[in-house]
Amino acid sequence: MLCLPSAASFRPADPAARGALASQQQQQQQQQSLPHPHTLAAQGRLPIPSAAAFRPADPTAQGAIASKQQKMFRMREFDHFVVIDFEATCEKDSRIYPQEIIEFPAVLVDAATGALLSSFRTYVKPRHHPQLTAFCSELTGIQQQQVDGGVDLATALGMHDSWLASAGAAKNRLAVVTWGDWDCKTMLESECSFKCLNKPRYFDQWVNLRIPFEAVFGAGRRNLQEAVREAGLEWDGRLHCGLDDARNTARLLVELMRRGASITITGSLPQPPPPAPEPEPELQLQPQMAPLNHSISWCTGAAATTGGCCYCGVPIRCDMVTTPGPMHGRFFFGCGNWTPTFGPMCHFFLWAA
């Protein structure tokens, strides 16, 4: 029978040697307990290195990464885009005064994913030209019965606001997107002005999609349909149908985002001046009048203090009839865009009380 040596006989006498041997044995046990990387890959589980493994030791590299992250954050300036494309009363080869919105469409786009989340449309009943022209119906596809059953513009603005809220779009984190400046700068602003309506503040600035489009595809005159096709997209729907135009504009927006175009505010309305101080009572030359138009406060001589505008979108003017006759001496309110040569530029007129 052989006499096997005990484990103590293999233990080095030197304490330092014993420590090295124990460390080597521990490492071998750890390697045996860990699965091989190829085994993990076969199981679909690769070891994930710690965050410290990705952290550059060079402070300059750390700063570059931080700068890139900040730039990516700035690129997402908004959570949502709301794309609009109004249709308004019109006539062939002439301009209608005042022009009014008859279709109010919008499409909500997720600014992070480019997903088209929701759409909105309501028809708006025009007040000053309630009967659509044949040219307008043919161009837009909007029928008379649709605007007859529509709402007024103030109600449409409120409905649009409620739709955004129900979709979870925060007003301070969205941007209005249009194809051109006309929708926000001209159409909505002028109609709200002469009708004395308060519109939501997010309509005071917008993204004119022509600008990022030309940054990607180059400058040139194109309508919306031509731009959509140039971007490699198929036009969907009817041209000059407000909702179809808004949907195609939204698809074009998403394509520009995919191509890395910068989508940021390109236009805004000037901020209104601070309100003038109220006149001291002792300086009033005559008592206040009771006007028919509640936007008019008082009138003396040929000057008026007013918060209303004419159809041109400029402050209305007050004047007095000087021609002899039954109306001599009466005050009236008319177009503020008046010159001695051309007279009034629109048909706004209202007798003062």
Given the residues 80, 100, 191, 240, the one annotated as active site: 240
240 catalytically annotated: yes
Amino acid at 211: I
- 106-141 burial, b if ≥16 CB within 10 A, otherwise e? bbbbebeebebbbbbbbbbbbebbeebeeebeeebb
The tokens for 219 are 């400058």
DSSP 48-103: PPPHHHHS-SSHHHHHHHHHHHHHHHHH---SEEEEE--EE--BTTB--SS--EEE
Residue 87 designated active-site: yes
Taking the C-alpha atoms of residue 117 and residue 114, their distance in angstroms, rounded to an integer, is 9
Q: Annotated catalytic residue: which of 87, 100, 103, 255? A: 87
- The residues, ordered by sequence, that sit 6+ positions from 269 with a Cβ below 8 Å of its Cβ are 184, 185, 189, 204, 205
The rounded radius of gyration (Å) of the Cα atoms in the chain is 35
CA distance 185 to 205: 9
Determine contact, residues 195/157, Cβ cutoff 8 Å. no
Known catalytic residues are 87, 240
